[in-house]
């Protein structure tokens, strides 16, 4: 509201009539307006229409605020809760790769030149051994103790070893030293466990390699040692953090051959808070029928000991499997809960020489032939050639690193009928995976997979024996498996 100001006489006209200076119809000035005074504004604001408008606006504001608060609370209440990610050591975040340096790279510099190969498999640790001289072995009081703290001169110098550690760090790899005194398939500790001098000798060797910067150790044949002695060495290993980051690990290896023996060892280790155990757990099950395979393997996880799954050793690649069964064994290795471990050559189906090989008789890695075959390989063929097995391992390593369900989820066995093994890997808010294996030599079809957690259509991520089809979406009711074939399928998370 504005009111018209009083018009003043024109000074130049001596108080005569006003002239409209800006208008077109006369000589006078346009009207001028001024704002309301304070008392007039207060009287206007107190009028009933304005009071009602203010009340309505205030009410709308508070109703809107309360509504938004309620909506936010409802969203939070209905949103699915996400499980916190469990803490993992570096050796649980990828695979371990076990290599005798002479056969893998010739010497330490040769090993350093092949670190890219190890990293391409999704590995986080490289287990090297034997590194100590092999021309002397201990056993029994008064005998010469194995020089575990020394480096075999033919492999290089300690400076070469330090450069290897730095090169491994750049590739995201930790280096573990295999301090098993005797290599091969038989007993590895002999009388050393009872030797009164060996305890201090072993502590000195562990300290020496820790000072050189290793990420940990492997002690194979751990069932031959007193548990108290292993616990003492474990505490010594873990006392100092690794200079490459993370904790150090003492990895025990078992050569037990039966499921019952392994379960007893795991229960003993679990009760004593033992560290991770590496073993050929699949081999211990032998020719277990398909429906029992997964439940028996998962029973090994019950004592709570972290497992490192191996399908062989540097002395027995892929546990002597033929080319048809090797791909499925690798698929199972990478998809079970725990840490997968490859012995050098497993990733290409390397064949052992006849007889029981010793460290000096192992087949060397055929690097030049492998490179030639990789360039000539046809991806559409069955995964039976070295480069195709290598491609399978790399795919599995990449999937395990990228997918939380494969890295963190529990394994849930499923019924898939006679001759088949199946299990789920799931993690909240992540892609779920179905692992399906034909454990026999006959083709399988119309599998009775009727679990309510499975959708009618799944996506084929890889097969061990055939290339992916143009459309990887497969109906659950029409899944087929060739002899010894394994499938890895995925589907979206379902609450």
Is residue 27 assigned to a domain?
Answer: no
pLDDT digits (tens, 9 = 90+) for 272-288: 888 899 998 888 887 78
Instruction: Examine residue 472 and state whether it is found in any structural domain, yes or no.
Output: yes
Determine how many CB atoms are found less than 10 A away from the CB of residue 94. Answer: 22
The reply to whether 375 and 449 lie within a common domain is no
In a domain, 44, yes or no: no
Kindly report, residue by residue over 209-229, the tens digit of the pLDDT: 999 999 999 999 999 999 999
Residues 204 and 304 placed together within one structural domain of the fold = yes
Residues 339 and 274 both lie in one domain: yes
Average pLDDT over residues 412-419: 93
| 174 pLDDT above the threshold of 90 | yes
CA distance 92 to 338: 7
Give per-residue pLDDT as tens, 454-492.
999 999 999 998 889 999 999 999 999 999 999 999 999
In this prediction, residues 34-53 reach a mean pLDDT of 72
Same domain for 395 and 422, yes or no, is: no
DSSP sequence for 272-297: TT---EEE-HHHHT-S--HHHHHHHH
pLDDT at residue 10, as a whole number: 46
Higher-confidence position of 85 and 94: 94
* Whether 209 and 123 share a structural domain: yes
* Cα 479 to Cα 487: distance, rounded to the nearest angstrom: 10
- Classify residue 438: in a domain, yes or no: yes
Residue 283 has what pLDDT? 82
pLDDT in tens, 312-334: 788 777 766 677 888 999 999 99
CB atoms within 10 A of CB 322: 10
pTM here is 0.82
Task: Please write the tens of the pLDDT for every residue from 239-272.
Answer: 887 777 778 999 999 989 889 999 999 999 998 8
Tokens of 156: 């290089």
Q: What percent of the chain has pLDDT over 90?
A: 55
- The reply to whether 37 falls in a domain is no
Comparing C-alpha atoms, which of 319, 264, 255, 314 is closest to residue 286? Answer: 319
Same domain, 332 and 277: yes
Q: Which of 345, 378, 402 is where one domain is finished? A: 402
Q: Does the pLDDT at position 376 exceed 90?
A: no
DSSP assignment of 409-440 equals: PEEEEE---TTEEEEEEE-TTS-EEEEEEE-S
Are residues 329 and 443 located together in one domain of the fold?
A: no
Query: Can you state the angle between helices 386-402 and 326-335, rounded to 10 degrees?
Result: 10
Q: How far apart are CA 264 and CA 278, in angstroms?
A: 15
Classify 414 in phi/psi space as left (phi over 0), alpha (psi -120 to 50) or beta: beta
Residue 324 lies in a domain: yes
Task: Say yes or no to pLDDT of 356 above 60.
Answer: no
pLDDT band with cut points at 50, 70 and 90 for residue 9: very low
DSSP state of 254: E
Average pLDDT of the chain is: 85
Q: What is the CATH number of the domain that holds 424?
A: 2.60.40.1180
Domain boundary among 335, 367, 402: 402
> Which is nearest to 295 in space by CA: 253, 259, 340?
259
- Rg (alpha carbons) of the chain, rounded to whole number: 37
Residues 393 and 477 in one domain: no
The answer to whether residue 177 scores a pLDDT higher than 90 is yes
Domains in the chain, number: 2
- Burial (CB < 10 A; 0-12, 13-18, 19+), residue 228, is exposed
Same domain, yes or no: 350 and 371: yes
Instruction: Classify burial at 198, counting beta carbons within 10 Å of its beta carbon; exposed 0-12, middle 13-18, buried 19 or more.
Output: buried
pLDDT of residue 246: 78
4: pLDDT confidence band, cut at 50, 70 and 90? very low
* Domain containing residue 131: CATH number: 3.20.20.80
Residue range(s) defining the domain that contains residue 468: 411-491
Q: What is the pLDDT of residues 100-128, one digit of tens each?
A: 999 999 999 999 999 999 999 999 999 99
Query: Is 388 part of any domain?
Result: yes
Quick one: what percent of the chain has pLDDT higher than 70? 84
pLDDT tops 50 at residue 443: yes
**Confidence tier at 70 by pLDDT (50, 70, 90):** confident
Cα diameter, the chain = 139
Quick one: 205 and 341 in the same domain? yes
DSSP one-letter string for 115-168: HHHHHHTTEEEEEE---S-SS----STTSPPP-TTS--GGG--HHHHHHHHHHH
Q: Are residues 468 and 349 in the same domain?
A: no
**Residue that finishes a domain, picked among 402, 424, 458:** 402
Nearest to 216 by CA among 127, 312, 143, 100: 127
Mean pLDDT of 53-58: 81
3-state secondary structure of 141: coil
Grade residue 355 by pLDDT with cuts at 50, 70 and 90.
low
Least confident of 97-106, 226-235, 384-393, 438-447: 384-393
Do 337 and 274 lie in one domain? The reply is yes
- Tell whether 248 is covered by a domain: yes
Question: Is the bond into 130 cis (omega within 30 degrees of 0)?
Answer: yes
Ranking 26-30, 31-35, 50-54, 110-114 by mean pLDDT, the lowest is 26-30
**Residue 389 confidence (pLDDT) above 70:** yes
Q: Calculate ∠ Cα 47-52-57, nearest 5°.
A: 130
Q: Of the ranges 132-141, 298-307, 430-439, which one carries the lowest mean pLDDT score?
A: 132-141
């Amino acid at each position: 509201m504005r009111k018209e100001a009083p018009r003043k006489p024109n000074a130049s006209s001596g108080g005569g009539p006003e002239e409209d200076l800006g208008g077109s119809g006369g000589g006078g000035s346009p009207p001028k307006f001024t704002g309301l005074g304070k008392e007039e504004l207060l009287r206007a604001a107190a009028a009933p229409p304005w009071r009602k408008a203010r009340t309505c606006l205030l009410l709308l504001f508070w109703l809107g605020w309360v509504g938004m608060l309620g909506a936010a609370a409802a969203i939070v209440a209905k949103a699915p809760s996400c499980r916190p990610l469990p803490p993992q050591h570096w050796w649980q975040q990828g695979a371990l790769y076990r290599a005798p340096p002479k056969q893998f790279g010739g010497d330490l510099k040769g090993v350093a030149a092949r670190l890219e190969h190890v990293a391409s498999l999704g590995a986080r640790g490289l287990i090297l051994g034997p590194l100590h001289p092999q021309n002397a072995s201990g056993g029994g009081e008064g005998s010469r103790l194995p020089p575990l703290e020394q480096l075999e001169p033919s492999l290089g110098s300690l400076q070469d070893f330090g450069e290897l550690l730095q090169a491994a760090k750049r590739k995201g790899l930790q280096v573990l030293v295999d301090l098993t005194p005797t290599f091969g398939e038989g007993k590895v500790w002999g009388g050393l466990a009872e030797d009164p001098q060996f305890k201090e000798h072993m502590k000195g060797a562990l300290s020496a390699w820790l000072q050189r910067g290793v990420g940990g150790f492997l002690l194979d044949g751990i069932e031959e040692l007193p548990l108290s002695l292993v616990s003492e060495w474990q505490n010594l290993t873990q006392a100092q953090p690794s200079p490459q980051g993370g904790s150090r690990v003492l990895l025990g290896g078992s050569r037990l051959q039966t499921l019952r023996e392994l379960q007893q060892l795991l229960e003993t280790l679990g009760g004593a808070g033992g560290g991770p155990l590496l073993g050929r757990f699949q081999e211990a099950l032998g020719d277990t029928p398909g429906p029992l395979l997964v439940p028996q393997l998962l029973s090994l996880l019950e004592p709570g000991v972290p497992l490192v799954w191996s399908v062989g050793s540097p002395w027995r690649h892929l546990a002597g499997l033929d080319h048809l069964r090797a791909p499925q064994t690798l698929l199972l290795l990478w998809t079970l809960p725990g840490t997968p471990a490859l012995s050098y050559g497993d990733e290409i189906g390397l064949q052992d020489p006849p007889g029981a090989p010793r460290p000096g008789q192992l087949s060397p890695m055929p690097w030049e032939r492998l490179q030639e075959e990789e360039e000539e390989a046809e991806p559409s063929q069955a995964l039976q050639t070295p480069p195709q097995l290598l491609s399978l391992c790399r795919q599995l390593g990449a999937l395990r690193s990228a997918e939380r369900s494969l890295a963190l989820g529990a394994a849930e066995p499923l019924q898939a009928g006679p001759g088949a093994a199946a299990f789920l890997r799931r993690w909240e808010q992540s892609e779920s995976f179905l692992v399906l294996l034909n454990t026999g030599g006959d083709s399988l079809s119309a599998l009775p997979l009727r679990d309510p957690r499975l959708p009618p259509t799944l996506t084929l991520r890889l097969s061990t024996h055939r290339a992916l089809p143009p459309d990887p979406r497969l109906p659950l009711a029409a899944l087929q498996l060739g002899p010894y074939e394994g499938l890895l399928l995925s589907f979206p998370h379902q609450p």
